[in-house]
Amino acid sequence: MITSTLEAEPLITLVGPPNSGKTTLFNYLSGKNYKTVNYPGATVEYSISKLQKKYNFEASILDSPGIISLIPNSPDEELSIDSLYSHPRFGIPDLIVVTIDASQLSRHLLLAKQLIDAKFNVVLVLTMTDILNRKGFDISLPDLTNELNCNVVKVDGRTGKGIDELIKVIEKNILNGRLKPRQNPIRQNGNIHFDKLIGYYKEIENIEDKVIFKSNKDANPSDLETANKKLNILNNPQARNNIGIDQTTLKVDKILLHKAWGLVLFFFIMSITFTSIFWLAQPLMELVDSAFGYLAYEATVLLGNNWFGNFIANGVISGTGAVLVFVPQIIILFLILGLLEDTGYLARGAMLIDRPLSKIGLNGRSFVPMLSGFACAIPAIMATRTIPNKRERLLTIFIIPLLSCSARLPVYALFLAFLFPMSKAWIAGLVLAGIYIFSTISATLIASLVNKFNNKIIKEVDNSSFILELPSYRIPKLKVVATNTYHSSMAYVKRAGSVILLLSIVIWFLTYFPDYNPQVNSSSMSQEQAEQLIGSERLSHSFAADLGKFIQPVMSPLGLDWRVGVSLIPTFAAREVFVSSLALIFKVTGDKSTLQTSIIREMRQATIAGTGKKLFTTATIIGLIIYFIFSLQCISTLAISRKETGSWRIPLIQLFVFTAAGYILSFVAVNGLRLIGIN
């Protein structure tokens, strides 16, 4: 075994410019499924894994955020580059594998040269050689190896082409590196002179001239490689600048970045994205929904009407089922965002709205984090690391929790189904898009207010900059997008199976016990009415009701009662649980209809105790939607906000300001609507 000759397991770090294919290669080597995106800056954190067993070589492999050069340009870049030299957790790399986009050799070699000059142990991986070939060019590996004095391998991390060769080269270089006395790589000085950079580029241009040649598609390239190359250079000394931009990209950009229509198309694309979530998911959702309704019904029949049967049917099946019926929506949300990400359009979106965003203190680079905020605030807040300006970054983090994340989707979907019956599902789709637009507008408004009036919330000032590569358009790789979607959706399902199941059980417990048996004189009622009366009597004597007494005063101004209040408490751990709580509190099992139909039916019948007024009305539902749009009810978001901003100040402000805003605006909406006659 090779490992026996090594003292410790070697560490390989993948380094390269943004969007050069690091994560794609990392996933192939490790068998993991980290997200790859056609946008520069997809990875923002180091992640570690082991090389897959099948390569017969034990090593740890580290994926890193893309960097343009070894000289940092922002504190985040500095951290990222420092970790390259010596990662605080994973240590000093034995080998650096640099990924270089072969179709952009002259730009990407800068980093490679810097790493080699800094005396790292380097292996070069040329990615995207397929793109270079399509443009009619090829690279001579022996020449490039000679020029750089390090091993070079062509690899396609999507298909695995060239991986075996890469493993051999990695092994060889690590063993060689271990034989030499270890020297620490040299740090680059932050004040590096302009001329030095220009000098680097001169060298690189020379190298490029020597290694890149026009490939003749009709001939056998391996035979004619050298001949072609020589001819080419002799005949056409200017050839090197003609690698050129992908023609399709230029054509598509003529439309999507049209001087006048570009922005209109941008808003159109965004609206389609969000409306289709509702429309596409509708039929699938009904399927899943009836399955859970049926399951809950069968469980009651099978296990009988005792505490155990009730626990399984309500606590477990309805509780988690209420959340799981929204899996189709979640899948479609991730699928559509994923497709959009993989086309290369996102960088254009960032460019298109840089101007308006910079007016309110954000940056074009805020766009992608904000967009992923519609999926989940946690990765979105981490993604803000690609914003070099500290102030803009903090402001982006500040407003991300206001964007409607996927955990809110079940809640909105339920409310919209309540407001609009099935026959009007298309309106629900439009209103959902409306909610997304509304949450985006309020987020940007709040950003501009904070930026303008309140330097206490965000104090930093810094040079604002927007430099972003617009990658070539691609037809999205369905397999890549599907894998990403699968993993994101599984995470949602797992939450339903863990946190949400747990909370459902707690709520079930609180609503079922102390197992009060009311004496009801049911002689003058139908059986159904009697059951309902018993149900509500039981609930009003439950532990949940005791808890509810404290919440009642807070809920009354919103036209709601303690039952909704109790359902809102667990949402601070997971917003989706609101739907489960409603299902449990309003007791929805007992017949064969779909879970959602039963929840909505029970919601329609619910009245506020003592007054006989309906609990869920158009006004109170709108109020609740508004509450959910604003309030920050997610502990994990607070934790990541604390981590990324470096103190508790911003997360605490977010918690109090947003939750208070949700409450107050909901109050205003409910009572305003009532004033104008909408109940």
Partner 1 sequence: MRTAAELKYGEKGIINDIDGSHPSSRRILEVGFTPGQEIQLINMSAFRDPIAFSVRGTIIAIRKDEASCIKVL
Ligand X SMILES: Nc1nc2c(ncn2[C@@H]2O[C@H](COP(=O)(O)OP(=O)(O)OP(=O)(O)O)[C@@H](O)[C@H]2O)c(=O)[nH]1
CB of 369 to partner 1, least distance (A): 17
Does residue 19 contact residue 101 with C-beta atoms inside 8 Å? Answer: yes
Given candidates 43, 389, 440, 637, which one binds ligand X under the rule CB under 6 A?
43
Given candidates 198, 272, 660, 668, which one binds partner 1 under the rule CB under 8 A?
198
Measured in Å, how far apart are the chain's first and last C-alpha atoms? Answer: 76
Segment holding 14, helix H or strand E: strand 11-15
Given candidates 10, 12, 19, 489, which one binds ligand X under the rule CB under 6 A?
19
ω into 388 cis (within 30 of 0): no
Distance CA 413, CA 128 (A): 42
**Segment 11-30, which members bind Mg ion (CB under 5 A)?**
22-23
Which does residue 304 touch among Mg ion, partner 1, ligand X, none (CB within 5 to 8 A, set by kind)? Answer: none
Which does residue 147 touch among ligand X, partner 1, Mg ion, none (CB within 5 to 8 A, set by kind)? Answer: none
Residue 237 binding partner 1, by CB under 8 A: no
CB of 83 to ligand X, least distance (A): 14
Partners of residue 48 on adjacent β-strands: 62
Q: Which stretch binds partner 1 (CB under 8 A): 46-54, 196-204, 289-297, 301-309?
A: 196-204
CB of 356 to partner 1, least distance (A): 7
Residue 66 binding ligand X, by CB under 6 A: yes
**Segment 461-490, which members bind ligand X (CB under 6 A)?**
477, 480
CB of 39 to partner 1, least distance (A): 13
Which does residue 335 touch among Mg ion, partner 1, ligand X, none (CB within 5 to 8 A, set by kind)? Answer: none
Nearest 5°: phi and psi at 153?
-130, 140
Which does residue 318 touch among ligand X, partner 1, Mg ion, none (CB within 5 to 8 A, set by kind)? Answer: none
CB of 509 to ligand X, least distance (A): 45
Residue 465 binding partner 1, by CB under 8 A: yes
Which does residue 482 touch among partner 1, Mg ion, ligand X, none (CB within 5 to 8 A, set by kind)? Answer: none
CB of 268 to partner 1, least distance (A): 13
* Cβ distance to partner 1 smaller for residue 104 or 654: 104
Structure tokens at 195: 């001329």
Residue 138 binding partner 1, by CB under 8 A: no
Nearest to 18 by CA among 46, 49, 41: 41
Residue 391 binding ligand X, by CB under 6 A: no
Given candidates 20, 60, 275, 637, which one binds ligand X under the rule CB under 6 A?
20
Nearest to 353 by CA among 266, 250, 437, 446: 266
61: left (phi over 0), alpha (psi -120 to 50) or beta: beta
Residue 189 binding partner 1, by CB under 8 A: no
Nearest to 20 by CA among 62, 64, 84, 77: 64
DSSP for residue 647:
S
Given candidates 10, 21, 72, 315, which one binds ligand X under the rule CB under 6 A?
21
Nearest 5°: phi and psi at 214?
-70, 125
Nearest to 39 by CA among 364, 394, 259: 364
Residue 162 binding ligand X, by CB under 6 A: no
Given candidates 41, 293, 315, 623, which one binds ligand X under the rule CB under 6 A?
41
Neighbours of 408 (CB within 10 A): 22
Does residue 370 contact residue 396 with C-beta atoms inside 8 Å? Answer: yes
Pairing of strands 47-50, 11-15: unpaired
Distance CA 212, CA 648 (A): 53
**Segment 484-523, which members bind partner 1 (CB under 8 A)?**
none
Residue 42 binding Mg ion, by CB under 5 A: yes
Distance CA 151, CA 412 (A): 55
Distance CA 404, CA 217 (A): 50
Helix, strand or coil for residue 558? helix
Residue 525 binding partner 1, by CB under 8 A: no
* Cβ distance to Mg ion smaller for residue 43 or 69: 43
Structure tokens at 473: 């358009």
Residue 634 binding partner 1, by CB under 8 A: no
Residue 570 binding ligand X, by CB under 6 A: no
Distance CA 181, CA 414 (A): 65
Does residue 122 contact residue 77 with C-beta atoms inside 8 Å? Answer: no
Given candidates 235, 463, 523, 527, which one binds partner 1 under the rule CB under 8 A?
463
**Binding residues with Mg ion: total (CB under 5 A):** 4
Given candidates 108, 113, 158, 587, which one binds ligand X under the rule CB under 6 A?
158
Residue 215 binding ligand X, by CB under 6 A: no
Nearest 5°: phi and psi at 566?
-65, -35
Would you say how long the chain is, in residues?
Answer: 679
Given candidates 11, 13, 16, 143, which one binds ligand X under the rule CB under 6 A?
16
Given candidates 91, 160, 356, 421, which one binds partner 1 under the rule CB under 8 A?
356
Segment holding 139, helix H or strand E: strand 137-139
Neighbours of 244 (CB within 10 A): 11
Burial class (CB in 10 A: 0-12, 13-18, 19+), 66: buried
- For binding to ligand X (CB under 6 A), which residues are involved? 16, 18-24, 36-38, 40-43, 65-66, 127-128, 130-131, 156-158, 342, 477, 480
Q: Which residues in this chain contact partner 1 in the complex, by CB under 8 A?
A: 68-69, 71, 73, 103-104, 106-107, 110, 192, 194, 197-198, 201, 241, 243-245, 249-250, 253, 257, 259-260, 262-263, 347, 351-356, 364, 463, 465-470
